[in-house]
Amino acid sequence: MNYDRVLNSRVAQVPPSGIRKFFDVVSTMKDAISLGVGEPDFTSQWSVNDAAIYSLKQGRTHYTANAGLMALREAACDYLESRFGVRYDPKTEIFMTVGASEGIDLSLRALVEPGDEVLMPDPSYVSYSPGVIFAGGTPRPLVTRNEDEFRLTPQAVKAALTPRTKALILPYPNNPTGAIMEREHLEAIAEVLRGTDVVVISDEIYAELTYGGKTHVSFASIPGMKERTITLNGFSKAFAMTGWRMGYACAPAEILSVMLKMHQYTIMCAPTAGQYAALEALKAGRETDYAYVKEMVRTYDRRRRIMLDAYKQMGLSCFEPRGAFYTFPCVKSTGLTSQQFAERLLMEKKVACVPGTAFGESGEGYVRCSYATATDKVIEAMARMKEFVQEIRRV
């Protein structure tokens, strides 16, 4: 059997995630503190779990509508309107996906034809570039910089636009940098896109997690942008529900119907029990003014400040990230590469972080440290990292 001839070369040639190799090493170490986790350390609220269990007791074990339960679509549309000021029609402009990840894949496959280019900030979440390649397109990473607080600049977008540019992925608050884009920054991007047919895939999965008095601005809320925006969101980060795999995609009906068609043929519908769980998360949120979400945000914010203070003491520069649950300190002053820094920190101090290069070439010189880990562990990890940096500097 000649597997090289059998397998789709475009897919086969995509390298496995850079995170994978590191994962294998860390998982063999028993007492390492991991700052490498990209999901909340909180568990979903018990009322959410209970709603799913109850749905099973009621025998709700069948498919739902392809787009998901109407009550859930309505609740999600109300949520987006009340929290981020964007109104979508529950009948034609939203459907429930298997995590926001499915939304990324469907968005790209709905838009991209061979030879099309898709712009995305670099460093960024690991799925975008492979997703573009799987869809037959060409990823065009746009370098973002520490001095711009890792925001995407309108100049970078403008310079990269070609007649083949099909879409721009806008993932803010950003994984791995923790960067956010405020209204003025989004407006500047919008200005560049006006008059083009470039679609924006706005991955807003971290929308609830912003700090320092900043609140998330949804790209579709920028005047004139809704018609070209696919808004992706979900329950994983806002409601600590990663394992439920519940997300949603929103877009103008013309785009959404094409995405929904693929969803119908490939997925059928998001898991039914998960949909009931998600519905409870939104209901409970509305009734308590999102007390659960706010408590998580307060806790994350404290840990974020602990990390930033620790970097200052270590002499590692780090811009102040105001979103998600990541810090992205610059480790260039240690003379080590991202990979060396992460490997040695793990081996010598048993603290795991992720080399910035796992998120794109321009992540070189940085590491991603997640503060979705218990506060006392964050404190301990920072103490160990401080020792490590001091020892490196002494040599």
Partner 1 sequence: MIRDLELSILEILFNDSRTTPAQIAVMTGHSEEEVTAVIRSLEAQKIILKYPAMINWDRVEVDQVEAVIEVRVTPQRDEGFDAIAEQIYRFDEVSSVYLMSGAYDLMVTVKASNMKRLALFVAEKLSTLDHVLSTATHFVLKKYKLEGVIFEERRQDERLVISP
When the beta carbons of 273 and 354 are compared against partner 1, the nearer one is: 354
Nearer to partner 1, 76 or 126 (CB): 126
41 counts as binding partner 1 under rule CB under 8 A: yes
CB of 137 to partner 1, least distance (A): 21
* Binding residue (CB under 8 A) for partner 1 from 345, 354, 367, 369: 354
Of the candidates 295, 260, 226, the residue with the CA atom closest to the CA atom of residue 42: 295
**Does 134 participate in binding partner 1 (rule CB under 8 A)?**
no
Q: Could you say whether residue 17 binds partner 1 (CB under 8 A)? A: yes
355: nearest Cα among 18, 17, 39, 16:
18
Q: How many CB atoms lie within 10 A of CB 12?
A: 10
Is residue 386 at the binding interface for partner 1, with CB under 8 A as the rule?
Answer: no
- What would you measure as the largest C-alpha separation in the chain, in angstroms? 65
The contact pattern for partner 1, residues 103-132, with x = CB under 8 A and - = no contact, is ----------------------xxx-----
Residue 265 Cβ vs partner 1, minimum distance, rounded to whole Å: 27
Our CB check for partner 1 shows the closer of 34 and 218 to be 34
The residue with tokens 């404290």 is 302
Among positions 142, 250, 296, 352, the unique one binding partner 1 when judged by CB under 8 A: 352
User: Is 381 a binder of partner 1 (CB under 8 A)?
Assistant: no
For partner 1, the binding residue among 81, 254, 309, 361 (CB under 8 A) is: 309
Burial label for 268, CB within 10 Å (0-12, 13-18, 19+), is exposed
The distance of closest approach from Cβ of residue 132 to partner 1 in the complex, given in angstroms and rounded to an integer, is: 16
Using CB under 8 A as the binding rule, the residues of this chain from 263 to 302 that contact partner 1 are 298, 302
CA separation for the pair 37, 354 (Å, rounded): 9
Q: Does 158 bind partner 1 (CB under 8 A)?
A: no
**Residue 4 touches partner 1, criterion: CB under 8 A:** no
Please give the size of the binding site for partner 1, defined by CB under 8 A: 30
* Residue 305 sits in the site that holds partner 1 (CB under 8 A): yes
Cβ atoms of residues 371 and 327 within 8 Å:
yes
- Rule CB under 8 A: say whether 343 interacts with partner 1: no
Cα(254)–Cα(237) distance, integer angstroms: 28
Question: Which parts of the chain fold into alpha helices (H)?
Answer: 3-6, 9-12, 18-27, 46-57, 70-84, 99-111, 128-134, 154-160, 183-193, 253-266, 272-287, 291-314, 338-349, 375-394
Answer whether the bond into residue 123 is a cis peptide, omega within 30°. Answer: yes
CB contact set of 55 (below 8 Å; sequence gap of 6+): 272, 273, 276, 277
Residue 334 binding partner 1, by CB under 8 A: no
* Residue where the block lists tokens 């070439």: 361
Q: Rounded to an integer, what distance in angstroms lies between the CA atom of residue 233 and that of residue 358?
A: 23
Residues lying near partner 1 in the complex (CB under 8 A) are found at 17, 19, 22-23, 26-27, 32, 34, 36-39, 41, 43, 125-127, 175, 298, 302-303, 305-306, 309, 352, 354, 358, 375-376, 379
